[in-house]
Amino acid sequence: MAHVVIFTRRDQGVLPSIELLEHRVTTLPGTAAAVAHAPDADLTIVDGAVELAAAKAICRLLDGDSTPVLLVLSEGGFTAVTADWGVDDIVLDSAGPAELEARIRLASSRRHKAGPIVTSGLSIDEASYQAKVDGKPIDLTYKEFELLRFLASHPARVFTREQLLSEVWGYDYFGGTRTVDVHVRRLRAKLGDLESVIGTVRGVGYRFELVDE
C-alpha cells in the first residue's frame, strides 16, 4: 500500500477510481503553501484536468523532489504538457482502477531505487535496510531504521513528534508520542559519536543535523 498525496483545487472527483484501491490517500489544496507543508509520500498526484496553469505551477514546485509525480489530465490537456513540467507520468482523469493501480505501483517503485543516503559519516541504504557509521554496520530495528531514514531524507527540516508518528508509524498507530522519544534515544546510543545528527528542537520536535566532516 502506497501513501498518495493529491494536490487539487476541486472538492471531489479528481480520480474516482482511486477510491476503489487500497492506498492511503491525503488530499491537499493545490497551493504553494500546501506543497511546502505536505507530508512525505510514495507518490504525488497533481490535478491538471481543470486548471492546467495552476497544475503546472505545482509541478514545478515539486520538481527536484525525490517523490514521483503523476499528473492527471483531461483528454484535451495532453498537448499542453512538455518535459519542463517535471512530471514522471500522466493519466486521464477517467482512468479505471486497474490502469491507475499499475501507474501508481510503477511510479512509486522508482522512489525506492534511489541510491544510498550518504551524509555526515553516515550511510543509509534503503535497498538492504542497512545503516553504517564510518563504514561500520549498526544494528537497528525496523522502526529505528525507518525513523533514521526519514529524518536523513529531510535534512534540517524540523518534525514534531506527531508528524513523525504519522510518517514512520502510520496513521493507524495508537501509541503516544513517547514512542518517538524512546526510539530517538535508542538511535542516538547506537550512532555513538554521530548521535548529534539527530537534533532536538526544544518544544517542537526533532531534525537531522548535518555535521561538519
Which pLDDT value is given to residue 115? 60
Reported as a pLDDT band with limits 50, 70 and 90, residue 70 is very high
Reported as a pLDDT band with limits 50, 70 and 90, residue 75 is confident
DSSP 12: S
Please indicate, yes or no, if residue 27 is contained in any of the structural domains.
yes
Range with lowest mean pLDDT among 50-59, 104-113, 194-203: 104-113
Q: Please check whether residue 103 is in contact with residue 80, taking contact to mean a CB–CB distance below 8 angstroms.
A: no
Torsion of CA 75, 76, 79, 83, to 10 degrees: -60
Residues 104, 11 share a domain: yes
Domain that residue 133 falls in: 117-208
Give this prediction's pTM: 0.54
* Alpha-carbon span 210 to 50, nearest angstrom: 41
The CATH number for 70's domain is 3.40.50.2300
Q: Please check whether residue 51 is in contact with residue 93, taking contact to mean a CB–CB distance below 8 angstroms.
A: no
The CATH number for 192's domain is 1.10.10.10
Which pLDDT value is given to residue 67? 84
Residues 123, 77 share a domain: no
* Listed residues 50, 85, 114: the one ending a domain: 114
For the beta carbon of residue 37, count every other beta carbon within 10 angstroms.
Answer: 9
* Listed residues 84, 114, 144: the one ending a domain: 114
* Alpha-carbon span 159 to 13, nearest angstrom: 31
Res 83 pLDDT > 70: yes
Beta strand 43-47 pairing with 69-73: parallel
What is the count of structural domains for the chain? 2
* Alpha-carbon span 35 to 196, nearest angstrom: 29
Res 213 pLDDT > 70: no
Res 212 pLDDT > 80: no
Residues 153, 101 share a domain: no
Residues 123, 49 share a domain: no
Residues 21, 99 share a domain: yes
Predicted confidence (pLDDT) per residue in 30-44, tens digit: 999 999 889 888 899
Res 180 pLDDT > 80: yes
Please indicate, yes or no, if residue 213 is contained in any of the structural domains.
no
